[in-house]
Amino acid sequence: MIVAPSVLSADKSRFRDEVLKVKDAGAEFIHLDVMDGKFVPNVTSLIEYLPSIQDIDIFKDAHIMVMDIRGYAKAYAPYSSLITFHLEASEDVKGDIDFIRSLGCKVGLSIKPATPPEALIPYLPYLDLVLVMSVEPGKGGQAYLDEANGKIAYLKKAIKERGYNCLVEVDGGINGETGKIAASYGADVLVAGSYIYGHADYRERIEALRRL
């Protein structure tokens, strides 16, 4: 299992140290949550912090919960390995996929809890990752929604049957118990924020998820 600690929950005053700490604890990804106050109610920007971690060899997984997909993608591309945008925010999904790839990044596509997983099927050949939101996007600390499980299983099966090389990521309410559930349905990547950050035992928590 790939673990992607969400730096939304990190101590921003020690941002570089927080990223190094989870990397040293075994995390392969870090998850960069970006919100515009339009697609989701909250606003978060990480641009000012990202230059400090540009030299750290860790996969930087940016999740842009925004309406201006191309504008944000252009801003975050220099600091990101992969950029995931929301299907619901896009008026030209394939065009947005191609635009992000033209910036030199891998591409992910996310769906909110109310969106059926079937909506992702036409785009699977062009994606590196699909992100199933197991909470409503826009704020941390929410409880895991069980309806995500069927979506994870559906997408995992669809990707495997078609022979695509696409990861299934799950974000929202992930902890030791819900991580186990998501893994049992086929998740490849688990995003965890408050379950990891704010605790002393980063390594134990990350290792517990990695072993799933």
Least confident stretch, 97-111, 177-191, 197-211: 197-211
11 is catalytic: no
For the four alpha carbons of 21, 143, 110 and 164, in that order, the dihedral sign comes to: positive
Other beta carbons within 10 angstroms of residue 59's beta carbon come to 17
Q: In this predicted model, what pLDDT tens digit does every residue of 5-40 receive, in sequence order?
A: 999 889 999 999 999 999 999 999 999 999 999 999
Q: In this predicted model, what pLDDT tens digit does every residue of 40-84 receive, in sequence order?
A: 999 999 999 999 999 999 999 999 999 999 999 999 999 999 999
Mean pLDDT score across all residues of the chain: 96
Q: In this predicted model, what pLDDT tens digit does every residue of 153-185 receive, in sequence order?
A: 999 999 999 999 999 999 999 999 999 999 999
Q: Which of 36, 61, 128, 171 is catalytic?
A: 171
Please state, for a pLDDT cut of 70, what percent of the chain lies above it: 100
Question: Quick one: pLDDT at residue 140?
Answer: 66
**Does 141 score more than 80 pLDDT?**
no
**CB 211, CB 2: distance < 8 Å:** no
Polymer length in residues for the chain: 212
Q: Which of 24, 33, 92, 128 is catalytic?
A: 33
Question: Quick one: pLDDT at residue 138?
Answer: 82
pLDDT level of residue 103 (50, 70, 90 thresholds): very high
The whole model's pTM is what? 0.96
171 is catalytic: yes
**CB 37, CB 1: distance < 8 Å:** no
